[in-house]
Amino acid sequence: MRQSPISADLITSVFVMDTARRLKGSLPLAELIRAKPDAQLVELVARDTPRLVADAEFEEVARLMADFNLTSAPVVDAEMRMIGVITVDDVLEVMLPKGWQRRFGLFGDS
């Protein structure tokens, strides 16, 4: 969490991986904070975490994010190894016209 480049506003879940970086599930950050100190992470993790593959079409990304009301989603390879995270900001950056982005100071000065 400390090393994540993702904005603190967007971190609502923690993605859990095994030692081979395979996605095991996710856990809402609030649930992690509220968990009993002796709780095992493996017991708390939701195993049916919505995820994306690296070559997902934009429409699939947007649909998944909207259908599950996600602010972020893990991206996995064919072996379920986590290779990244996509955020709702990434989706908005693609969807919004460049002029609108500049007008409202979003996503830098591009």
Give per-residue pLDDT as tens, 25-84: 999 888 989 999 999 988 899 888 999 999 999 999 999 999 999 989 999 999 999 999
Q: What's the half-sphere exposure (Cβ side, CA atoms, 13 Å) at 20?
A: 7
Residue-level pLDDT at 108: 54
Phi, psi of 88 (to 5 degrees): -60, -30
* pTM of the predicted protein model: 0.76
Q: Distance between terminal CA atoms of the chain?
A: 28
Three-point CA angle 106, 15, 48, nearest 5°: 110
pLDDT band at 22 (very low <50, low <70, confident <90, very high): very high
Task: Give the chain's domains with CATH numbers.
Answer: 8-102 (3.10.580.10)
SS3 content of the chain, % helix, strand, coil (to 5): 35, 25, 40
Task: Indicate the SS3 state at residue 96.
Answer: coil
Residue type, 81: R
Residue-level pLDDT at 50: 94
- Residue-wise pLDDT for 89-98, tens only, equals 888 887 776 6
